[in-house]
Chain A
Amino acid sequence: MRLHSAPPPFVRTEATAGSMLGATAAALCALLVPPIVRYGARPLAMAGASVLTCLLCEALVSLARSRRPALAGASFAVTGLSVALLLPLNAPLWLPCAAAAFAVLAAGEPFGGFGRAPFTPAAAGIAFAALCWPEQTFTYFDPAQPYALPPLADCAFHAARSPAALLRDGLKPDILPLDLLWGTAPGPLGGTAALVLGACALALFLCRAARPETTLCFLLAAAALAALFPRIACSPLTSVKYELLSGSLLFCAVFLAPDPAVSPYTAAGRCLYGAFAGAAAMAFRRYGAFEQGAPFALLLADAVSPLISSAVCRLKGWEGKPYEAS
């Protein structure tokens, strides 16, 4: 036998950054199942186009930098799927492609790609799409109508106002709570099925692909503000129900906020980060121009994440200690 030398450790934990990304991508794929069952192959086409764009953009950047593409990390799949799931199913196919390209080329790769980008790429992509093409980004088809959406071509549809849009105008959504839970309300492709989102969150937390503190603090902060300052004339509990189950807030809380690559290092920092993002999402909803504020709130939270990390380090006394010889 020919023996080799290697530095220790010789055994490692089975969880790798790649496996964490893989679990997240699998959970995102699970979100595609209900719309595929209901509307055919179009959700698959949107997700495929978005993931393919991310893949091509990463490969292009790697080619330009003369380095091997870092595709095994599957970060391109997570970004691509997140972008597709935050857009309406009736959006033209070029829209997820444009948002995904912006996410990779402007928010991800210029900073070094996965693990080094200061902003959540998918949130940046959706913010870009919302700012450039608000009509396509926030127009939703009526899921109550029987549709056969073509997989690739643009589709004609009867538009319906989403619960988030109604809340912005101070109107109470006339939607059954069960529709909000099962995803048969107008809204982003992956943001409406609250039950599936909850199951995905549970799976991610149990397999330790994501840590729950950011999500919980995000939702708690959003729920507290929804209860204290309802946008519609209703009970605090009803306000919480509609705010949490409408738009992309729940999706962002489950999939984008716990992204460890941009959140603070410590549990306390992640709690602060989540609470800040949740509060900012509600502020954007109340005062922003768009019905959805969670992607913008996450970008804002990403910007203050290093400050939160530093503040926690200082408060815990991890800085300022001189060398102590043992």
Chain B
Amino acid sequence: MQGYVAWWILAAVLVGTELASGTFYLLVYGLAAAAAGSRYPARILLMRRLCGGKKRGAWIGAQACAALSDAVRRGRPQTETVVTAAGDGVARTRNFRVRIGTPVGAVLKAAGARENVRLVAVGSSLAGRTVTDLSLPVTAATRGVLALTELPARRVFPCVRCGRCARACPQGILPWLALRELESGAPDPLRLFHVESCVGCAACDAVCPSGIGLVAAVRRAAARKEAGFPDETA
């Protein structure tokens, strides 16, 4: 019983801190907790920090934690969520507590969307998805709405071998190696190091100074590696 009380106290503290600072926390069995810090992707790095080795655990976001608290303690279903409206297409970056089902356009309007917004994305700024219909609803999983006045287009250069993609990858993948193998025309599956563990966080894409679509390359490499050698599949 005492364990449950401690759990709820910790959850309340974490949710309060999260709402104040915008960071994520991880709860694991045994009430361990850690700050995510500023490095992306926080979820994977936290899991590694707290559940490294043979320890097992699970993460729960602060909003989900609050909704769970409401459901268990007050018997209230989740009907609201906190959404961050950001980007140069809104007057100011703000958090809104909105009802689930609220149109994305209404969130942007409340944030002071500019007239010249050209792109609206829902979800993470690195791995979210664009929406072209602003009547689409905010769901329980929606955490952010990004409005941009410029399309994220950039010129693509050949790989300049800076190695930033490998340093950014939380899974220890070498995107440059996968790209090099794919560009060789005959990729060797045994040289596609660890590509199957890609979580699609797009950190490599974001840091690549050449603007190369590395996530797509790693996914292609993973498919190629899964298929194995040509004579294996025959």
- In the bound complex, do residue B205 and residue A12 qualify as a contact, i.e. CB atoms below 8 Å apart? yes
- In the bound complex, do residue A3 and residue B206 qualify as a contact, i.e. CB atoms below 8 Å apart? no
- Contact A1/B117 with A8-B205, A115-B210 known, Cβ cut-off 8 Å: yes
Q: Chain B residue with minimal CB distance to A261? A: B160
Interchain nearest-CB distance for B53 vs A (Å):
18
Q: Chain A residue with minimal CB distance to B171? A: A326
Q: What total of chain A residues lie within 8 Å of the partner, measured CB to CB?
A: 44
Chain A residues, Cβ within 8 Å of B163? 265-267
0/1 string, B171-213, CB within 8 A of A gives 1: 0001011001000000001110110110000100111111101
B contacts, CB < 8 Å to A = 113, 115-121, 124-132, 134, 146, 148, 151-155, 157-164, 166, 174, 176-177, 180, 189-191, 193-194, 196-197, 202, 205-211, 213, 225-226, 228
Give the one of A266, A267, A318 with max B CB within 10 A.
A318
Q: Chain A residue with minimal CB distance to B157? A: A17
Q: Chain B residue with minimal CB distance to A318? A: B193
Chain B residues, Cβ within 8 Å of A1? 113, 115-118
- Within 8 Å by CB of B202, from A9, A113, A260, lies A9
Q: Chain A residue with minimal CB distance to B127? A: A8
Chain A residues, Cβ within 8 Å of B166? 265-266
Chain B residues, Cβ within 8 Å of A20? 160, 162, 209
A contacts, CB < 8 Å to B = 1-13, 15-20, 72-73, 112-116, 211, 260-261, 263-267, 313, 318-326
Chain A residues, Cβ within 8 Å of B154? 12, 16
- In the bound complex, do residue A321 and residue B117 qualify as a contact, i.e. CB atoms below 8 Å apart? no
Chain A residues, Cβ within 8 Å of B190? 319-322
- In the bound complex, do residue A16 and residue B177 qualify as a contact, i.e. CB atoms below 8 Å apart? no
Give the one of A4, A9, A267, A318 with max B CB within 10 A.
A9
- Within 8 Å by CB of A323, from B119, B127, B225, lies B225
Q: List 26 A-B contacts (CB under 8 A).
A: A1-B117, A2-B118, A4-B132, A9-B127, A10-B128, A10-B152, A11-B206, A12-B208, A13-B164, A17-B160, A17-B209, A17-B210, A18-B157, A20-B160, A20-B209, A112-B158, A115-B157, A116-B158, A260-B162, A261-B161, A265-B161, A265-B163, A265-B176, A320-B191, A321-B190, A322-B189
